[in-house]
Chains A and B, each alone.
Chain A
Amino acid sequence: MKALVPGTLALLPSYASIEDPVAPLRAACLDAVGRLGPRVRIVSSAATGGSGARVGAALVAAGGGTVVESGETGVLVVGNGSATRTEKAPGHLDERAAAFDEALRASFAGVDLELAEELWADAACLRDLPPLADAEVLYDDAPYGVQYWVAVWA
């Protein structure tokens, strides 16, 4: 079992607000992580200071699981599409972002990592994932100018 979630820092308990700004995303992430079993291996990149690993670990903990290096019951991949989807996006609007994310939506294989960096996408760990067409997609949106997917592969 394998799942994909984004490295959204707002998912961390230490950054909780009174009103959750990512409530639907959080619900989808917890749903996905809940299907990975009790021992979860996290695959994340070094992007943004390695924050993806922290987010992954927090989600596993919230689901009552344990992070392991091996002997896992499921794999949690942390990554996301571009962060340049709108003028208010973290990386401001880049006109290439929508097409980049659309290409990822079709296939993660062969992602252009150079372009990914220009578009502030955390895509290094996405390359080895099967296509979204083969997954149960629990979330696909870019509410704050960053493209998020939550998906589960059986």
Chain B
Amino acid sequence: MKLGRHAFGDDEALMMAIVNRTPDSFFDKGATWAEDAAFARVAEVVAQGAEIVDIGGIKAAPGVEISAAEEKARVVDFVARVRDSYPGLVISVDTWRAEVGAAVCAAGADVLNDAWGGADPELVDVAAEYDAAIICTHTGGVTPRTRPYRIDYDDVVAAAIADTVAYASRALSAGVARESIVIDPAHDFGKNTFHSLEITRRLDEMVATGWPVLVSLSNKDFVGETLGREVGDRLLGTLAATSVCALAGARIYRVHQVPETRQTVDMVWSIAGRRPPLRAIRGLQ
């Protein structure tokens, strides 16, 4: 797998830490809205071992309209600053707009995380032009920043596979490198809780497509609704879902809590036989 300037082996599981340059995202509620706070968050997650930061300038949920100019003002210079300070870090930007994608790639971004599933068809061309990686998500065709309302599927997993694989093929045709394309079923995007649970349960089917799979589970509503937990009290449920996805072989984990997720994924990776124990001597002396 190649994410912009950085290459990774097939047996590696990667942590993608969420860094919001937003005043209103659901989990951190503007904690890293100020540029210096966001930069401190980057330093923190790098120290925690995250390989990737995912920088976002617009919250996913509906809210105040943010123009492309305002989105660029929030993320472009920040990407340049992070690129300058952390040459070994993979920088991903969470955007659906080609115009923003081009600006952040010029500033040093490695990955375009299109959380809205190809809403702007030119985003793949930008990824190809800058040799960036692209995350192909499934949203069921909804408009960016809308909540799912009475969306239903004959088979949500089949729909997620069909759409993300089709998106991956579009990216490939546009000239994005094969090893730089990742698919994401996009839990809660265009999905109710039952859909997100089924996507989790059957994640192995997405892995079987051969495209590396990213999962974004962190503190989401499907966890909250399943367990009756508010935002801020969803870590255990998130980690349970993370375990199931890790066993299936998901490669990238988009998260708020890096150390907890890393520990969970390492444990499952070892159970799956993909990672040796750190240091085993008990019974082997």
Cβ–Cβ < 8 Å partners of B281 in chain A:
10, 17, 21-22, 144
Cβ 8 A contact of B277, one of A9, A17, A90, A145: A17
**Chain A proximity mask over B258-285: 1 for CB below 8 Å, otherwise 0:** 0000000000000000011111110111
Q: How far is the CA of A13 from the CA of B47 in the complex (A)?
A: 32
Place the interface of chain B in its size category: 10 to 19
Q: Is the CB of B284 within 8 A of A8?
A: yes
What's the dominant secondary structure at chain A's contact region? loop
Q: How large is the interface on A (under 10, 10 to 19, 20 to 34, 35 or more residues)?
A: 10 to 19
- Chain B residues contacting A21 (CB-CB under 8 Å) are 279-281, 284
**Of B276, B283, B284, B285, most A-chain CB atoms within 10 Å:** B285
Contacts of B278 in A (CB 8 A): 17-19
Q: Counting chain B CB atoms within 10 Å of each CB, which of A16, A18, A144 scores highest?
A: A18
C-alpha spacing A19/B190, complex, angstroms: 44
Q: Distance (Å) between the CB of B9 and the closest chain A CB? A: 14
B contact residues around A146 at 8 Å (CB): 285
- Docked Cα-Cα span, A89 to B281, in Å, equals 11
Q: Is the CB of B276 within 8 A of A9?
A: no
Query: Per a CB cutoff under 8 Å, which of B279, B283, B284 touches A19?
Result: B279
B residues near A83, Cβ cutoff 8 Å: 285
In the complex, chain B residues 182-219 whose Cβ is within 8 Å of any chain A Cβ: none
In the complex, the chain B residue whose C-beta lies closest to that of A80 is B285
Contacts of B284 in A (CB 8 A): 8-10, 15, 21
Residues of B within 8 Å of A10, CB to CB, are: 280-281, 284-285
Query: Do A16 and B276 touch (CB < 8 A)?
Result: yes
Q: Are A18 and B279 in contact (CB under 8 A)?
A: yes
CB neighbors of B among A60-90 (8 A):
83, 89-90
Shortest A20–chain B CB gap in Å is 8
Set of chain B residues within 8 Å of A22, measured between Cβ atoms: 281
Determine whether the beta carbon of B285 is less than 8 Å from that of A144: yes
Neighbouring B residues of A144 by C-beta, 8 Å: 281, 285
A8 proximity list for chain B (CB < 8 A): 284-285
Q: How far is the CA of A89 from the CA of B285 in the complex (A)?
A: 9
Give Cα A56–Cα B285 distance, bound, in whole angstroms: 15
Within 8 A of B (CB), among A112-154: 144-146
Closest to A144 in B: B285
Kindly state the separation between the CA atoms of A33 and B284 in the bound complex, as whole angstroms.
20
Q: Name the distance in Å between A150's Cβ and chain B's nearest Cβ.
A: 15
Query: Shortest CB–CB separation between residue B278 and chain A, in angstroms?
Result: 5
When distances are taken between beta carbons in the complex, the residues of chain B under 8 Å from A19 are 278-279
Q: Closest CB-CB distance, A148 to chain B, in whole Å?
A: 9
Residues of chain A within 8 A (CB-CB) of B279 are 17-19, 21
Q: Which residues of A contact B280 (CB under 8 A)?
A: 10, 15, 17, 21
A96 to chain B: closest CB distance in Å?
Answer: 19
> In the bound complex, how far is the Cα of B278 from the Cα of A32, in angstroms?
27
Question: What would 25 A/B residue contacts be, using CB atoms closer than 8 Å?
Answer: A8-B284, A8-B285, A9-B283, A9-B284, A10-B281, A10-B284, A10-B285, A16-B276, A17-B277, A17-B279, A17-B281, A18-B275, A18-B276, A18-B278, A19-B278, A19-B279, A21-B279, A21-B280, A22-B281, A89-B285, A90-B283, A90-B285, A144-B285, A145-B285, A146-B285
Add 19 more A-B contacts to A9-B284, A10-B281, A90-B285 (CB < 8 A).
A8-B285, A9-B285, A10-B284, A10-B285, A15-B280, A15-B284, A17-B277, A18-B275, A18-B276, A18-B277, A18-B278, A19-B279, A21-B280, A21-B281, A21-B284, A22-B281, A144-B281, A144-B285, A146-B285
